[in-house]
Structure formats: C-alpha cells, structure tokens
Amino acid sequence: MLIRRPADIAPSEITSPELYRARREFMAHSGRLALAGASMLAMPWSAAEAAALANVQPNKMPLKDKPTRIKDITTYNNYYEFGLDKEDPAENARALKTRPWSVVVEGLCNKPRSFAIEDLLKLAPLEERLYRMRCVEGWSMVIPWVGFSLSALLKQVEPQGSAKYVEFVTHYDKKTMIGTWQPVLDWPYTEGLRMDEALHPLTTLAVGLYGEELLPQNGAPIRLVVPWKYGFKNAKSIVRIRLVEKMPGTAWNKAAANEYGFYSNVNPDVAHPRWKQDTERRIGELTKRKTLMFNGYDEVASLYAGMDLKKNF
Ligand SMILES: Nc1nc2c(c(=O)[nH]1)N[C@H]1C(S)=C(S)[C@@H](COP(=O)(O)O)O[C@H]1N2
Ligand SMILES: [Mo]
C-alpha cells in the first residue's frame, strides 16, 4: 500500500482540511469504505465514539512543519514489547487486544477510579494536535495526533498536594508481546513526569492520529505524548496512572541510568554518551536538521527555571 500526501500544500494550509484530505487519501488507498469517522483497520469504536472522532476540534497551535507520511508513522515504530526492529510493531502488535480496556488512576488523589476507554474518549473534546516528535536515536517526525490534555483526566481524580510525580504503567502480556521474551527492559514499560509537566497543556493523551483511531503499533488505545521530551517518554498502551510523592523509576532509566535521565528534555547541548544530539533526521527528508531546545517548544522553558539541565538530563 502506497500512501502519498499531496506535495503542493503550503505549510500555512496544514490544518484540518489537510488532515482531512490525507485521511481521505489513506482510506482510498486502503481500499476500504470511506465512512467518515469510522476506523477502518480495526472497528472497536462504537458509533458514539466514532462520532467524537468525526468531530475533532481543529489544531489550536498551528505548526509550520509538514506532517510525516502516515505510512512512515505507522510502519517505522519503536514498541519494544512487539519487537526491536522498526518494522516489527506494525506486524506483531496486531495481537494487541484493545477492547475491553480501562485505565486505573490511583495514588495520592481524592477520587481514585478506573476509567473505561469508552469514558476516556468522551472525557474532553478530542483535538487535532500536530506535534514534532524527536526520538533519542536521532530521528524525528511530525505527527497529527488526536487527543486531549492529560490534565483533563488528572483533574477528575483530584490530585492531593503531596502528589509530586505521575507514573505511567503500560500494558504487559507476555504471551502476545513477543519482544518481552528478551530481557531488554524491565517489563511492563513504565514512564514518569513531574506533576507540573503532567499538567502542562501540551502534555497529551492521544487516542488517534491522522483523524483515525490509533493503531496498535502507535500505542492503541491510549498513549502519552510529551512533545518537548525524547520519544521514549511517550508511554504506549497505558493501563495505570499513579500519583506519587517520589520520582518514579522509568523503564529506560532503570536499563541505563547514565544514558537516559528522568527528564529527557530534547536538548541539542547534551549529547547522549554514545552519539551527539544536535542534529536529527526528519523521516521523509534528505538533509539533516538542527535539533531545537525543548524540541522547539519554548513555552515549557519556565518549568525548568534555575535547573541545571546538563545534570538533570
Ligand atoms: N510501551 C512502550 N512505549 C513506548 C516505546 C516502547 O518500546 N514501549 N517506545 C518509545 C519510543 S523510543 C518512541 S520513539 C516512541 C515511538 O512512538 P511511535 O512509534 O508511535 O512513533 O514510543 C515510545 N513509547
Ligand atoms: Mo525513541
């Protein structure tokens, strides 16, 4: 299946109509029925949920960058539970069962509870969020997510003052996750954010991309997106969110603490011990780009005022 985006779209036009066209094109190429709002690769979304998807709010933060082709976003993946090679997750994550699904939100809050995925899809208006994503390996994409701010979910459980960090625990099923048969990471994959990072409006729970339901390889049915941090902070297929007092361990930090810090803000001035981080290969482009501090999201700089970001990498 070859999916192309029209090359003649001015960056300024890259908002809803562009996404809409790309989605139509995706549907046409996938050879399925072009039903508005219906997801074509899997069909777990009910009619009501699909309607929410059809009603996605336009991007509030227009980004000049051209979106990466949907084919690249859905076939060049890191999801180690389903294999180590970039093309493995698209193949192996088909075994991921995304219904029934629920996310438990617990810990230091007044109203801990479990949220069914159906409720999460209706928790807040779904928005298009076209974000840059920079992987610590030195490549990047521009992804039109569909989702809402994590803060909308956290507000529901009323975090207590003692909650300083948020821990994310992802799905782990040894039988179907054949990548976990090798002891690469300490499964399940976990991640964490400081509370103020978690509450920042850019911090997103994504449930779709390119106007479609999220595919398993991209972390269906719900995954984290923190666009100013390296991609590995974006925990996929989340099942549990814990509000905690102490900085939680994270999968990559536990595996190699000298290489992957808790903060992991995109920072061209802090090299990985084994490679530089000042440039990146944007998937779909031929020449390298300069990597931007905080991945270009300068509005988060105030979260780190007075902090030594070389020490707190
Ligand atoms: N559960 C889980 N989440 C994960 C990963 C993983 O291996 N397992 N890989 C991370 C890394 S390294 C990156 S770059 C992004 C890739 O997201 P994408 O495949 O949707 O582009 O997912 C992150 N989330
Ligand atoms: Mo990554």
pLDDT tens figures, 200-244: 999 999 999 999 999 999 999 999 999 999 999 999 999 999 999
Q: For 154-170, what is the mean pLDDT?
A: 98
pLDDT at 18: 52
| Confidence bin at 19 (pLDDT 50/70/90) | low
pLDDT higher at 254 or 4: 254
Pocket test for ligand 1, best of 69, 72, 78 (most atoms within 8 A of CB): 78
Position 93 pLDDT exceeds 70: yes
Which candidate, 110, 79, 282, 56, places its Cα nearest to that of 177? 79
**What's the whole-number mean pLDDT along residues 149-162?**
98
Its pTM stands at 0.88
> Does 177 have pLDDT greater than 60?
yes
Q: What is 11-304's CATH number?
A: 3.90.420.10
Q: Which residue has the higher pLDDT, 144 or 4?
A: 144
16-30, 36-50, 54-68: range with highest mean pLDDT: 54-68
pLDDT tens-digit readout, 234-284? 999 999 999 999 999 999 999 999 999 999 999 999 999 999 999 999 999
- To test the pocket of ligand 1, the residue of 232, 237, 254 to mutate (highest count of ligand atoms within 8 Å of its CB) is 232
Mean pLDDT (the chain, rounded): 89
pLDDT of 15 > 60? The answer is no
Percentage with pLDDT > 90 across the chain = 80
Choice among 48-62, 90-104, 224-238 with the minimum mean pLDDT: 48-62
- Rounded mean pLDDT of 192-203? 98
**Ligand 1 centroid from CA 303, angstroms:** 24
State the Rg of the chain over Cα.
19
pLDDT over threshold 90, residue 188: yes
Give yes or no for residue 92 CB within 6 A of ligand 1: no
Q: 164: annotated binding-site residue?
A: no
pLDDT at 42 over 60: no
Is pLDDT above 90 for 155?
yes
Residue 232 beta carbon below 6 angstroms from any ligand 1 atom = yes
Confidence at 35, pLDDT banded by 50, 70, 90: very low
131 annotated to a ligand binding site: no
| pLDDT-based confidence at residue 62 (cuts at 50, 70, 90) | confident
* 236 marked as binding residue: yes
Residue 50 confidence (pLDDT): 82
Q: Which ligand is nearest to the CA of 141?
A: 1
- Rounded to an integer, the average pLDDT of 70-98 is 98
Would you state the pLDDT for residue 263? 98
pLDDT higher at 41 or 119: 119
| pLDDT confidence tier of residue 23, bands split at 50, 70 and 90 | low
Q: Is 5 a residue whose pLDDT tops 70?
A: no
